[in-house]
Structures are given as C-alpha cells and as structure tokens.
C-alpha cells in the first residue's frame, strides 16, 4: 500500500505502533494460508501465460541501478486473474524452471522476454514465444508481448511499502497482494479474511463437536481456542501521563510499572489492567503539554469545517479560506481517485459529493489528500479511544508531484510540516511554536510521544 499504513491505522484505531505491526504480520500469515489453499495451476492447451522477473529494492540516491534488493518471479494467465508472484534467490535456469513446472501446465504458450534462462522452455513441453524489449514492445512477427505481466508488476510495486523490500518481509507482502488481487470486491475480501482465520486457527478443544457446532465445555472452564494462538498485546502509554499519575492512588502498585527505554525518552507507564477511574485528558492539560513541547494551541471554530479551517489558518493566517481549501482538497481527490478511494468507506463518488458540502467533517482520506496536495507532512496530536493518552501521529504525502498545488505570491506558503491537535478525537485545532513563525524552528514531533 503506497502510504504510511501503520500511521493510518494508529490514527484510526488508537492502538500502539507495535500492536499494529504484530497484527499486520499475523494477517499476512492468513493471506498466505489463503493463497496456498486456493492455488490453481496456470495455463493449459490454448492458454497464454506471460512470465517475467522484477527486482524490488532501493537504488543509491534514488537513481541508477539497484544495488540491493529481492528478485521476484511472476506469471499471469491472459483472460483470467490467475497469477503468481514469488521471491527467488536467483534467476538461474534451474530456479525458474522448477517454479514454472510447479505452477504452469504443459502445453501452455509462454511469452517472455529474451532472458537466457527461458531458452529451455520449448524442450520442456511448452510453446515459447519471446519479445526483445530492446527493440520493441510487441514482436512484429509473432505478436508476442508481456504487457499483462508488466502491468502486474506496477500493481505489485504500488501495493508493497518501501520498508517491505527486505527479503524477510517480501514474501508476506506478496501474499497480501495476491489475496487483495484475487478478492477485488471489498465485501468478499472481508468475508474471506475471517473465513481463513477460522480455518487457519481452528479451535483445538477436544470438547468441540463440529457436527452440532456446540461447545460442551463446562461454563466454569475457560474455552481453549483461537485466543491462545493469536498474538498477545499490552497497552502501553508513552506521552501525556498526568491523568494516569493522578489515578495512581486508586491502583495497586502491582498494576503500574514505570519503564525508561532511553535517558532522553519520556518515562512510560505499562498498564496491565485498566482502572475504572482513569479520566480523559482535559483541554487545560493539553495546553500544559504543548507548553512543555514549546508549542501553543490556536483554537479553531467548531462548525464541521474545523480541519479545512485549520489548514486555512496555517496557509493564509486566517480561517476564512476554509471553503477554498475544501474545494482544492476534494477536487484533488477526484482527480486522483485511484490513489484515495482505498481510504474511503463505501462508494467513493457518494463520499466526494458529501465532502463537497459545507460543514461535512473531514476523514483520514481528506487529511492524506491535504498532505499530498500541499506536499507537507501533517502531524496530529491524537487521543486513544478512551481519550486517556495523546500521541503524535504522522500522515505523509502519498506521492510527490511538483504541480500538486501552486500558491499565489500573497499566500503564506509554509515550507515545513503542519501540526494539528485532534481535540477529543472529533475536532481539529492548530498547533504552532511559541516563539517562532513556523515549525521549521522546532524539531519534528516525536512519533508515539
């Protein structure tokens, strides 16, 4: 997914970063289970399969040839959505031929580039056609081309985060891509993920009767099943801890453990049981916390336009341009529908029609769109779901384009990050430095703190 997904989930779910990473890894295991159990051989008599290899990795200074990365071998059957992508240690004939035999039926017409490892395919029971990309995209004689597999690579690159290029991460991200690719309908995707959780992590109690679907475990016995096999998590706070400290008297000392991970890091409180007296953080406490961070809060009118008013305040030093900012953001999202539709619940067009209307609350999709439109990182100081802890979250531009938004010479065009306070999780106020004109004079907020 081409954006900071962990930050997005932090913002939406109000969960610790480590918890989100652990459960994302767990769900990729479920995707891998689905891909393996639903695998179908590609090709056959009269069928065409395109194959190719691609390298995923980083280049030096973002240009030039890749210095390190992972090779991925893939194939796609024309006229269907059957495909495979698999990381490989090398591109030798032995490695690729073994995968081809395991995944493509004999008698298939295979189209590829002129990589020498494919020269043996004609003698292995396949009809082999090639295209030399150094001269043309389509072989003028055989009409062979590999445009389908090239398109598949573009989608794979689009869906794999930059941090997922490491070899030990690549397989899981490829399995997630194949799961999404084969379940393009969101409703089916949601159903399939839960169905495969049930098959991968079946209840292991011997007292479970699959015929009657009734548990015969006595009520006083704790059921044994999926909960034991799923990742265990704890709730950890790392930032504004005053409400927790005021509630300390009502908690036993065994419930609170002070943790210092680094001399420069704010001490953390790991709560093994959540007290009922834990109170939400108040606005005066937020103001005190901002003072500690050498920042201050500018209050924004609460009329449903608060996010666009906040951006207007930062860009134009006035909230009055909020309608202009709403128009700019929504138009940008419509122009780049493919980039933003995945962040919208329900129908994208209906969402955008609603978002054009004054007083409609902005969602995470609009925040990401504003970050991309302005080419600015947006930090939000946001609460967890109980509003007992606030922490900094980052939403970065989804892509970079010099022509995204050109401000006139009269605009106060900032060249640094944007900081907002997500007050109570339902309103946006502006956060600015106490003694400077913009955030350039302060270090970036520390994520999770």
pLDDT string in tens for the chain (449-residue length):
445 678 888 888 888 888 988 888 889 999 999 999 898 999 999 999 999 998 887 655 555 454 577 899 999 998 887 999 999 989 899 999 999 999 999 999 999 888 888 989 999 999 998 877 554 445 555 556 778 888 888 888 888 876 545 666 788 899 999 999 988 887 788 899 999 998 887 765 444 454 554 444 444 433 333 333 344 433 333 344 333 333 333 333 333 333 333 444 433 333 333 343 467 889 999 999 999 999 999 999 999 999 999 999 999 999 999 999 999 999 999 999 988 988 887 889 999 999 999 999 999 899 999 999 999 999 999 988 788 889 999 888 988 765 555 443 344 445 689 999 999 888 999 999 998 778 888 888 988 76
The per-type count for the chain, helices as H runs and strands as E runs, is: 14, 15
Alpha helix locations (H) across 183-305? 186-200, 226-229, 242-246, 283-292
Specify whether the CB–CB gap between 414 and 438 falls below 8 A.
yes
Q: How many residues does the chain have?
A: 449
Please tell me the distance from the alpha carbon of residue 38 to that of residue 106, in angstroms, as a whole number.
Answer: 20
Q: Take residue 397 and report the two structure tokens written for it.
A: 């531009």
pLDDT value for 370: 95
241-278 burial, b at 16+ Cβ within 10 Å, e below that, comes to bebbeebeeebeeeebeeeeeeeeebebbebeeebeeb
pLDDT value for 276: 36
pLDDT value for 238: 36
Which residue is associated with the tokens 């924004």?
300
CB neighbour class for 415 (10 Å; exposed up to 12, middle 13-18, buried from 19): exposed
Please tell me the distance from the alpha carbon of residue 262 to that of residue 266, in angstroms, as a whole number.
Answer: 8
pTM: 0.47
Please tell me the distance from the alpha carbon of residue 26 to that of residue 241, in angstroms, as a whole number.
Answer: 30
pLDDT value for 262: 42
Alpha helix locations (H) across 216-294? 226-229, 242-246, 283-292
Q: Take residue 15 and report the two structure tokens written for it.
A: 């969960």
Please tell me the distance from the alpha carbon of residue 296 to that of residue 287, in angstroms, as a whole number.
Answer: 7
CB proximity list for 372: less than 8 A, separation 6 or greater: 332, 336, 339, 397, 398, 399, 404
Please tell me the distance from the alpha carbon of residue 1 to that of residue 160, in angstroms, as a whole number.
Answer: 5
pLDDT value for 402: 56
3-state secondary structure at position 55: strand
Query: Facing residues of 409 across strands?
Result: none
């Amino acid at each position: 997914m081409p954006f900071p997904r962990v930050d997005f989930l932090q913002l939406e779910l109000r969960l610790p970063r480590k918890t989100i990473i652990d459960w994302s890894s767990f769900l990729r295991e479920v995707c891998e289970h689905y891909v393996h159990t639903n695998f179908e051989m590609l090709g056959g008599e009269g069928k065409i399969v395109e194959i190719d290899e691609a390298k995923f990795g980083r280049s030096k200074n973002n240009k030039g040839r890749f210095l390190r990365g992972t090779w991925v071998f893939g194939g796609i059957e024309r006229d269907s959505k059957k495909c495979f992508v698999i990381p490989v240690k090398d591109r030798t004939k032995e490695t690729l031929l073994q995968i081809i035999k395991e995944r493509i039926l004999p008698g298939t017409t295979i189209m590829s580039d002129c990589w020498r490892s494919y020269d043996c395919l004609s003698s292995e029971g396949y009809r082999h056609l090639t295209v030399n990309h150094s001269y043309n995209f389509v072989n003028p004689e055989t009409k062979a081309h590999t445009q389908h597999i090239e398109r598949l690579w573009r989608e794979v690159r689009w869906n794999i985060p930059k941090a997922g290029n490491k070899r030990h991460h690549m397989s899981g991200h490829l399995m997630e891509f194949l799961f999404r690719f084969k379940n393009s309908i969101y409703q089916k995707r949601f159903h399939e993920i839960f169905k495969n959780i049930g098959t991968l992590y079946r209840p292991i109690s011997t007292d479970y009767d699959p015929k009657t679907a009734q548990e015969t475990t006595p009520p006083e016995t704790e059921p044994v099943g999926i909960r034991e096999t799923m990742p265990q998590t704890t709730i950890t706070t790392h930032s504004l801890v005053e409400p927790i400290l005021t509630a300390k008297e009502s908690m036993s000392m065994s419930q609170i453990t002070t943790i210092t991970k680094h001399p420069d890091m704010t001490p953390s409180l790991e709560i093994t049981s959540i007290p009922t007296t834990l109170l939400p953080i108040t606005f005066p406490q937020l103001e005190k916390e901002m003072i500690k961070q050498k920042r201050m809060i500018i209050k924004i009118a609460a009329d449903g336009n608060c996010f666009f008013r906040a951006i207007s305040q930062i860009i134009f030093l006035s909230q009055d341009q909020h309608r202009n900012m709403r128009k700019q953001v929504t138009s940008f999202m419509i122009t780049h529908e493919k980039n933003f539709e995945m962040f919208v619940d329900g129908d994208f067009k209906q969402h955008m029609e609603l978002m054009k209307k004054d007083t409609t609350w902005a969602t995470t999709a609009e925040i990401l769109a504003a970050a991309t439109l302005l080419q600015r990182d947006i930090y939000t100081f946001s609460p967890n779901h109980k509003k007992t802890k606030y922490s900094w979250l980052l939403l970065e531009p989804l892509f970079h384009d010099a022509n995204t938004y050109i401000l006139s010479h009269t605009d106060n065009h900032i060249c640094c990050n944007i900081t907002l306070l997500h007050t109570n999780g339902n309103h946006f106020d502006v956060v600015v430095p106490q003694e400077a004109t913009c955030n350039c004079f302060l270090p970036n907020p520390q994520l999770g703190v």
